[in-house]
Each structure stands twice: as structure tokens, then as C-alpha cells.
Amino acid sequence: MFANTLSGLGFDLHAVYNCFDPPYRPETGWPLKLPNIEFKHNTLLLLHFQDFITPCQGRILELEQVERHYGANAHRVLVTYWSHNLQKYYQGPVNLIEFSNHNMATVTAIQARESQWTNSINAKTSAWQCLNGRMCLHRRRAVDILQHWPNGVLSYGNDIPLDAWAYDTYRGTENEDNFMRLLPVYAKCQVNIVTETQYDEPPGIVSEKTLMAMIAQQVPIVIGHQGIVQDCRELGFDMFDDLVDTSYDSMSNDVRVEQAIMKNQDLILGKINLAPYQERLQKQRSFLLDEFITGTQQRYIQDVEQLAKKLSAI
């Protein structure tokens, strides 16, 4: 789709569809695959940032690498990226278009197996779940509170393993396979306390952890980078603001985890009747499975057309 759309608009396209080159280092960001090409009047270099980026005190380290490498031709570079609304944090010459192939692939794969899980997700018998594979500080803070709360399912790496699937069996497992093997948990829990991948500084990603909660028709309490709940709203998701106290979303890093949990204690512990919300939860699932992919594609095409107009005027 990238190649057909951009070439169809008259660009001489050069593309690197997996620009990040592991290993990742938090201090310097991702190493990038940056080809040396000859820029002509219709040349466009597409770099796809397939994973999260590295914000650092108002800078985006990967975009700075691109700027340094291409210099005066940086305005002929298009970066497609996962982290939501990167334009809010970067005003340099590199062109930006949001497009998460990771989330597109995850939703498509789970949708393809819908007949295997769709009849299971309404049998909610437990109040909450909070699944934490990779261990890190903000997840540890959530676990420290939730490990004392009843009627839920909690995991934390190999320190607090799930009975059915130990975390050390996860490596190499595709997201849709992980959803299927964890289906007994997703199927029975009403609320999902999602401890997302990034926490310390926006912009960050909205990952499969959040999407799986929505597919499973769970009420999401999403804890991630500051503003992640607003990011989810902008992506079209219902964050149940009349049910979930989302005021934590704008709070500082040192209290956001704890406030997200404590402000929603009654909800998490199953003290609120969720029957009136079932239609909205089903609508949320339908939006993700039926509209999310086409909407993402349509926004990409519109953004590319705007880019073509912009570059033709230079």
C-alpha cells in the first residue's frame, strides 16, 4: 500500500520498511538503516519506524539521526511511525505520517480467528486482570498494590507467574497466539488494568495490550505515558469516562500508577454494576474489528495526498 500510493502520486520512491536496527539503547535510541541515495526533484525516501521512538527532554533521538544524516534533503524524507501524534513533539523538516503496522497486523490476525474466541468473552466471572510480562518499575508499582486485592488475575514476569502459561514460554509467540492462549483470563475478567509498554515521557505507543482488552469487551484502565488515555480517545476508542476516573492520565510520573488504581478501586473490585455498559463494550469491539483498519488506511492515504501537495509547492 505504501509503495502503490506514493508511486501513484508521482514520487520516485526509495523505502526502508524496517528502519530500526536492533539492539535498542535507551540512551541513544535505535540504530537506523539510512541509505545513501541521490535526491532529485521527485525523490522521496520512506523510512518506516516499526517500533516505539525515544523521546528525550523534548527531542526525538531517532528523528535527530535522520536530520543529521540527510541535512538539506531531510524535507524529502517521510517517516511513518507508531507512536501517536508525533507531530505534537517534533517540528523539524522530516515529514511525518502516523501508521502502526504492528497494531494493524495484530487486529487483522485476531479478527481472522474470531470464530475461535467470540463465544467465550461474555462469561465474566472475575472482577479484574493485570498481566505484566516484561518487568519494569511502573508495572512493579501496580503489582505492589494489586497483589493484595481479591477476585482478580495478576502476573508479573516469572515472579508472579500465570498458572497456565509461564512468562518464560512467551518468547517468539505472536500476539494473536498469545491472545488465544490467555483467552480463559480475558474471557472471565471484567476490568483490564493495562500497564502499557512506555511510561516515563510522551509520545508513546498504544500496543496490543490495550487492543486486546477492547477486543475482549473489558473496561480499560490504561496506564502508560502521560496522556495515553487521551491518545486512545483520539484513535477513536471509548475510554468510559463516565465510569473510569481518568483524571490520573495527566498526573506526574511519580503518582500516576497509584492514582489510576486507587481512584478506580470500587470499579476494579467489582463493586459497580457493569450491565448498563455491555452494549458500549460490544460496540468498542466492533469498532476495532470492523472500522479501525479501514480508518487507519484512509487517514494514511489522505495524509500522503497532503504531503504530495506540500512537496510539489517547494
- 126-177 pLDDT, tens digit per residue, is 999 999 999 999 999 999 999 999 999 999 999 999 987 877 777 788 999 9
Which is nearest to 46 in space by CA: 1, 92, 14? 14
**How is residue 171 written as a grid cell?**
518468547
Tell me if 167 sits within 8 A of 223, measured CB to CB. no
Which is nearest to 51 in space by CA: 193, 208, 192? 208
Q: Collapsing DSSP states into helix, strand and coil, what is residue 274? A: coil
How much is the mean pLDDT over the chain? 96
Tell me if 204 sits within 8 A of 138, measured CB to CB. no
**pTM score, whole prediction:** 0.95
Mean pLDDT value across residues 279-293 = 97
Tell whether the model's pLDDT for residue 199 goes beyond 90. yes
Mean pLDDT value across residues 280-286 = 97
Q: Collapsing DSSP states into helix, strand and coil, what is residue 242? A: coil
**pLDDT computed for residue 153 by the predictor:** 97
Structural domains in the chain, sorted by start: 2-99 (no CATH), 116-287 (3.40.50)
Establish how many alpha carbons lie within 13 A of residue 74's alpha carbon, considering only the half-sphere containing its beta carbon. 16
Beta strands in 71-125 (DSSP E): 77-81, 95-98
Which is nearest to 190 in space by CA: 272, 101, 298, 303? 272
Return all residues near 16 (Cβ < 8 A) that are at least 6 apart.
Answer: 33, 34, 35, 45, 46, 47, 48
217 in the Ramachandran plot: left (φ > 0), alpha (ψ -120 to 50) or beta?
Answer: left
Return all residues near 128 (Cβ < 8 A) that are at least 6 apart.
Answer: 146, 149, 151, 152, 153, 189, 190, 191, 192, 193, 268, 269, 270
Return all residues near 123 (Cβ < 8 A) that are at least 6 apart.
Answer: 187, 188
**pLDDT computed for residue 170 by the predictor:** 78
**pLDDT computed for residue 278 by the predictor:** 96
**pLDDT computed for residue 111 by the predictor:** 97
